[in-house]
Chains A and B, each alone.
Chain A
Amino acid sequence: MCADEKQTASKSNAKIIRLAIYGILVFILALLPLLIKSPYVIHVFITTFIYIVATVSLRTVTISGQYPLAHAAFMGIGAYASAIMAKLMGWPIWLTIPLGGVAAMAIGAFIAYPFARLRAFYYAMVSLFFGLGINQLIIVSTKWTGGAGGFTNIPHLLPTTDKVPYYYFTLVFMVLCLGALWRFEYSRIGISLKAIAQSHLVASSVGINEASFRILALSVGCFFVGIAGAVYAHYNFTLSPTCFDITAGLWLFVYALIGGLSSFNGPIVGTALLIIAPQLLSNLKQFVPFISAAILLLVFYVMPQGLVSLPQLLSYWIKERRKKDTLSHAA
């Protein structure tokens, strides 16, 4: 019993430490605009925040064992839905952003039923082509979306063109969304989804309804990626179908993959690295895909759990090294 109590105590301690680290990170991010005056750098950070929400919302689906490649399309649905409602119907933006999420969620829930019967490779392929279809739909409905030429003059999110207020808005937005997604993953819902991923037969034998849980997961994921898309639309003021095509969908997945699919922090680290790092090498921009491929290979060979497993791996290597040292000393 004593050991048990100790364990729960250490578990809650770990939780507090984790929360404290998150708090410090957010605090540093909140101070950043005081130090950095370049609007371009602030812009990169704002984009990163929005994309972090998009990649973390992938996790609702990846923890159930599937690889969604159509998430950029849902981001596009949210973005275009909100932009259309705000510009063509004149609705207020504080309403259209959540409605953009709801639109993405509705379409996600609609296709989730057939999707819930597919697994692994088949799921990935069908979702890929669904993304392609949505993108085509955006291109051909020129009357609403502006087609391939893009959607311009989207109403602004904030009554200013200064980047700093946008920075704080998207930072708060990201923290709120991550909190909501965190709760989803670490509740019994997330546990049941992880159980489905490990063995759908065993999961169904204890009464977990695989189809309804996967429909729920895809809907929730689509909602968050939808509002991320809506915020993106009202921050950028213009949208183009290429922002949400297959390549964009693959990138979202690659962000999560490089960071690590097995942990909540993985997609955050991956997105931040792969959006910010190419900006530092701005004169090598055309090589970004090659560099990313190299990073991808390196990550998979050295740390199959993704970049987030780096600290764990380092401590393991150091331990092994010490062991070897003591052994050679003993000899």
Chain B
Amino acid sequence: MLLEINGLTKLFGGLSAVKEFDMYVNKGEIVGLIGPNGAGKTTIFNLITGIDKPTKGKVIFNGQDITGKRPHVCAQLGIGRTFQLNPLFPNFTVSENVEASFFLHPQSSLLDIYFNTFTYRRNEALIKEQSLSILQLVGLLHLENELAKNLPHGYQKMLGIARALATKPSLSLLDEPLGGMNPDEIEFTIAAIKETQEQGVTILLVEHNMRIMSICQRVVVINFGQKIAEGLPQKLRENKEVIQAYFGDENLA
């Protein structure tokens, strides 16, 4: 098991954003985390990556307890993530965004960096090469010198995924990777996600778009911060509670 979450609870004031939440992700899987707006999906991501500290519960990654570890430590351990809003460095160009994200592998020492030694220059050349291949994967190679803030929304999301890949994660958390994309971009991104999985990255994603179901091996549905269902995507479509969460009570309708 790559990621294991036990009894995760987060209170904001008196309100529980996440309540006694359990889930797991196996190595090599693509797992979807779905639920209506405000169900607590992004909060769960923030709790895993250390942006928020859980009130209660445990997050175990690769056999190691990472509950409440700082965000950069989580990144060093191998959790990459994208953000739903503002997923990038707006004033950097596309290629600078990816190159700046290559912070961990290879990492040069401060003295190497400052004195521009051979090691540093070799590492930077390597980074340049690898960032080009990542940009190729997400299909942004032709825009490498464009400022990131000038990109259309869909491209910004793809660049966010490229940035997350630059940290060479073993687990990648994608927060609404398809948000604001047109149908062509959606197909392309789904293919890119599939390809990253084939390269050995485990993926946990939050999404509203039901198209994503086609590539998920397992789906976890939450509402009001609690898990209401879990299983294969096809089976969940018939699950009463899930239908209720998304479409309301049928007796009322």
Contact = CB atoms under 8 A, between A and B. Distances in A.
A209 B113 contact: no
B90 interface: yes
B224 interface: no
Contact of A207 (B51, B72, B113): B72
B92 A195 contact: yes
Given A198-B91, A201-B51, A206-B166, A183 B72 contact: no
Interface in B104-122: 104, 108, 110, 113-114, 116, 120
A57 to B, nearest CB: 15
A206 B100 contact: yes
A202 B84 CA distance: 11
Nearest to A205: B81
B154 interface: no
Contact of B103 (A194, A198, A201, A208): A208
Interface residues of B, number: 36
Interface in A171-194: 183-184, 187-189, 191-192, 194
Nearest to B96: A191
Given A188-B108, A189-B114, A204-B70, A198 B75 contact: no
Interface string B46-57: 000101000000
Given A183-B116, A192-B103, A195-B100, A205 B88 contact: no
B167 interface: yes
B163 interface: yes
Residue of A192, A194, A207 with most partner-chain B CB within 10 A? A207
A172 B91 CA distance: 34
Nearest to B91: A198
A245 interface: no
Contacts of B114: 183-184, 187, 189
Interface string A197-222: 01101111111111000001000000
Contact of B89 (A188, A189, A195): A195
B76 A198 contact: no
Contacts of B96: 191
A195 B87 CA distance: 12
B87 A207 contact: no
Contacts of B103: 192, 206-208
A205 B86 contact: no
Given A187-B116, A207-B167, A209-B72, A202 B83 contact: yes
Given A188-B124, A198-B90, A206 B116 contact: no
Nearest to B99: A191
A117 to B, nearest CB: 12
Nearest to A210: B72
B80 interface: yes
Contacts, number: 82
Contacts of B164: 205-206
Contact of A199 (B51, B76, B86): B86
B71 A204 contact: yes
A188 B125 CA distance: 13
Contacts of B49: 205
A189 B71 contact: no
Contacts of B71: 201, 204-205
B83 A205 contact: yes
Interface in B37-90: 49, 51, 70-72, 75-76, 80-81, 83, 86-90
Interface string B159-182: 000011011000000000000000
Contacts of A7: 145
B223 interface: no
Contact of A198 (B80, B89, B110): B89
B69 to A, nearest CB: 11
B131 interface: no
B81 A188 contact: no
B202 interface: no
A7 B145 CA distance: 10
A191 B114 CA distance: 12
Contacts of A201: 51, 71, 83, 86
Contacts of B166: 206
Contacts of B120: 187-188
Contacts of B87: 202
B101 interface: yes
Shortest beta-carbon contacts, A-B, top 4:
A207-B75, A204-B71, A206-B101, A198-B89
Interface of B: 49, 51, 70-72, 75-76, 80-81, 83, 86-92, 96, 99-104, 108, 110, 113-114, 116, 120, 124, 145, 163-164, 166-167
12 contacts: A187-B113, A187-B116, A189-B114, A194-B92, A198-B92, A201-B71, A204-B75, A205-B71, A205-B80, A205-B81, A205-B167, A207-B76
Given A191-B99, A198-B89, A199-B90, 8 more contacts: A187-B113, A188-B113, A189-B113, A192-B103, A195-B100, A204-B75, A206-B101, A206-B167
